[in-house]
Chain A
Amino acid sequence: MTDLIRLTDVEKNYTRGKEKISIFDKLTMRIEQGDFVAIMGPSGSGKTTLLNLLGGTDKADKGAIEFDGKRIDNLNEGQLTAWRAANVGFIFQFYNLMPILTAAQNVELPLLLTKLAPKKRRENVATALKIVGLEDRAKHRPREMSGGQQQRVAIARAIVSDPKLLLCDEPTGDLDRTTADEILGTLQVLNRDLGKTIIMVTHDAQAAKFAKRTLHLDKGRFEQAELAA
């Protein structure tokens, strides 16, 4: 299998006042195309920071980040934005839907960044909603839906432009067990049937079981370095 993501000697620091906080120091990891990885670890270990680096929403201070064989760490802000739109779907703990838009309008948002004609956009939206099992909720607004349904809309939004990579930060953190398992099942289907590479941050060991493998992050390092690399 080919690597979709390769991090080499990545350094990431934050400055808080005069103090420099090192989050990652020479972090190296690889993720294969078609993998489904759960990342676990204590609060503050750098999980969200890692997702930001992988998704191009934050920049590393040193090191190389490759996606599909191309470096993304040297892209400028505008290029990175366009790269994200084309290659990464994001799924958030609190769904982050636009409250005044319907499910279909929410799902359509990423397609507004493409050259697709409105008719084609509508078709793709319908397909994405169908994949998550919400074709009959297209005209509903977020507040008219349950948490699980809202997260499904968010998943449809993440996959509608057919990105290779899905990044999920605590996607079931706000859901009860049954609903969480349904959502995780959907992610599994996306991974297995559509070949999406998924990286999911979670605190929940049950959730992690849905992934193909789990990495434990602590103080900016993976516990089983050989698994990550």
Chain B
Amino acid sequence: MASLLNQIGAVTALNVRSIPQRGWMSVASVVAVALTIAVLLFFLALSNGLSQTVKGSGADDVAIIIREGSNAELNSVVTRDQLSILTTGPGVAQRQGRPSASGELLVIVDGVKRSTSTNANMPFRGIGAEGLALRRGVRITEGRMFNPGTNEIVVGAGLLREFSGFEFGKSIRLRGTTWQIVGVFEAPGTVFESELWADIAVTQSLFNRPNVYQTMRIQLSSPDAVKAFQDWAKTDARLNGLEVLSERAYYARQASQSSAGFMFIGLVLGIMMAIGALAGALNTMYSSVAARSAEIATLRIIGFSGWAAFFGTMVEALMLSAAGGALGILLAFVAFNGRTTSTLGAGFTQLVFQFQLSGGIVFAAIVMAIVIGLVGGFFPGIRAARQRPQLELAAQ
């Protein structure tokens, strides 16, 4: 046993120290693994960042009411009558003598993406008087909140970073009306940071959607009150066709929809590239075994076992793929982790979020690198182990 470890150690050292003799080939296979890992990480971090942002948007003691079967707010409808009925439900929090609820309408306006100077759809949300209070993570960081009943807008900091046209203090024209940007708000890690907010009544009238709401948000007394509120809403025929969810549950559902796509692309691309990298690794290792065939035959004649030849090849492959994996992960951290980006969120409007690597994602990348190394070393390793220990083979 000790002898086998000695043997493996010696053969591995021989392999590894002779890597420079196959320099370019080894470098190429390291780079192939690195690129594969980086691409995989790119999409997983994208998917994770998106999912975290969407999920982070929801509170669990706020109920959101949409039309049943609407995947996005844009195709939901809640009427004014339903709105007033909903505010009479159990557990609705009161603020200054009024129910803490906000009927909302989301419309799309044009913005310009800074990085590409292309037009993009911006979500423009009309919110009720309680809309700001309902979102606890939101802070006005510049200027002030819009005044109810005026053509004033506050803009999310994330949107401002990525898109132009809505700078603080600016007057802009939307649908033939002049609007004033009076404030900037921050809502770190949520979808709201990608939105423009204005008064609901003004939004309804100037965008020509009188009395139309898409969603309603209601502050409930506690997370437990959501269930009671849901049960109550089911019993009222006038609320038929509406779905009541906690805000958290709503965004969790959205998150899985929007991030699943990227996850899928990431995995498909990752696996395709992994196959390419694997082919490269196999090629490198088969050449390594071929280049060392006289050496392997000599060692086998001297009395080294086939296992030593196998493991030596295996370890060389694993070292190359580990180097590639480490390089890929480094690349991911330097090139895009934490970078802000935007993509089409639910409802075809832009959503700003950050690439976010996680322990689990890095682990997945490490596993992929190891698998490439194991498979890439296994078959050439078998060839090395099968190399017959004969004199004429050693003489090449």
Contact = CB atoms under 8 A, between A and B. Distances in A.
Interface of A: 48, 51-52, 55, 57-58, 77-78, 81-82, 84-86, 90, 92-94, 96, 98-101, 109-110, 112-115, 157, 169
A110 B294 CA distance: 17
Nearest to A56: B389
A77 B303 CA distance: 11
Interface of B: 2-3, 6-7, 9-10, 14, 17-18, 294-295, 298-306, 388-392, 394-395
A94 B3 contact: no
Contact of B390 (A58, A99, A114): A58
A81 B392 contact: no
Contacts of B391: 48, 51-52, 55, 57, 90, 92, 169
Contacts of B305: 78, 81
Given A48-B391, A81-B300, 20 more contacts: A55-B301, A55-B391, A57-B390, A81-B304, A81-B305, A81-B389, A82-B303, A84-B302, A84-B389, A90-B301, A90-B302, A92-B298, A92-B394, A98-B14, A99-B18, A100-B18, A109-B302, A112-B9, A113-B3, A113-B302
Nearest to A109: B302
B295 A98 contact: yes
Contact of B303 (A52, A99, A110): A110
By CB atoms of chain A within 10 A, which of B294, B302, B388, B392 has the most?
B302
Nearest to B295: A98
A170 B3 CA distance: 31
A110 B302 contact: yes
A216 B242 CA distance: 102
A81 B300 CA distance: 8
A96 B298 CA distance: 7
A174 B7 CA distance: 30
A82 B3 CA distance: 11
B10 A109 contact: yes
By CB atoms of chain B within 10 A, which of A48, A58, A112, A115 has the most?
A112
A26 B301 CA distance: 26
Given A98-B295, A115-B2, A57 B395 contact: no
A81 B391 CA distance: 14
A216 B189 CA distance: 88
B389 to A, nearest CB: 5
A100 B301 contact: no
18 contacts: A57-B389, A58-B388, A77-B306, A81-B303, A81-B305, A84-B303, A86-B303, A90-B391, A93-B395, A96-B298, A99-B18, A100-B18, A110-B302, A112-B7, A113-B6, A113-B303, A113-B304, A157-B302
B98 to A, nearest CB: 83
A109 B302 CA distance: 8
Nearest to A169: B391
Contacts of B389: 57, 81, 84
Nearest to A90: B301
A99 B305 CA distance: 20
A4 B155 CA distance: 96
Nearest to A99: B18
A174 to B, nearest CB: 10
B303 A85 contact: yes
B392 A112 contact: no
B321 to A, nearest CB: 22
A109 B392 contact: no
B2 A48 contact: no
A96 B3 contact: no
B299 A109 contact: yes
A55 B14 CA distance: 25
Contacts of B2: 115
Contacts of A93: 395
A48 B392 contact: yes
B195 to A, nearest CB: 63
A79 to B, nearest CB: 11
A181 B303 CA distance: 29
B7 A113 contact: yes
Nearest to A84: B303
Nearest to A158: B302
Contacts of A55: 301, 391
